[in-house]
Structure 1
Amino acid sequence: MNDPVEITLLTAPDCGFCDHAKQVLHRLGRQYRLQVIEIDLTSEAGNALAADSGVMFAPGVLVAGEPFSFGRLSERKLRRALDRRAGADRM
Structure 2
Amino acid sequence: MPDAPVTTTPAVVQVTLLTQADCAMCDHAKTVLARVGADHPLHITEIGLATDEGRRLALEAGVLFAPGVLLDGKPFAYGRLSERKLRRTLTTP
TM-score in same-fold range (> 0.5): yes
Q: Select the structure of larger CA radius of gyration.
A: 2
What aligned pairs does 1:55-70 form with structure 2 within 5 A after superposition?
Answer: 55-70=63-78
TM-score by length of 2: 0.89
**What CA distance in whole angstroms lies between the structure 1 residues aligned with 2:26 and 2:58?**
15
The equivalent residue for 2:87 is 79
Unaligned runs of 5+ in 2: 1-8
- 3-state secondary structure, aligned to 2:28: helix
Q: How many residues align?
A: 85
4+ aligned runs moved over 3 Å, structure 1: none
Pick from 11, 23, 26 the counterpart of residue 15 of structure 1: 23
The equivalent residue for 1:34 is 42
Q: CA RMSD in A?
A: 0.7
Unaligned runs of 5+ in 1: none
Identity among equivalent positions (%) equals 53
Q: Which has the larger share of helix?
A: 1
- State the 1:30 CA deviation: 0.4
**What CA distance in whole angstroms lies between the structure 1 residues aligned with 2:23 and 2:63?**
15
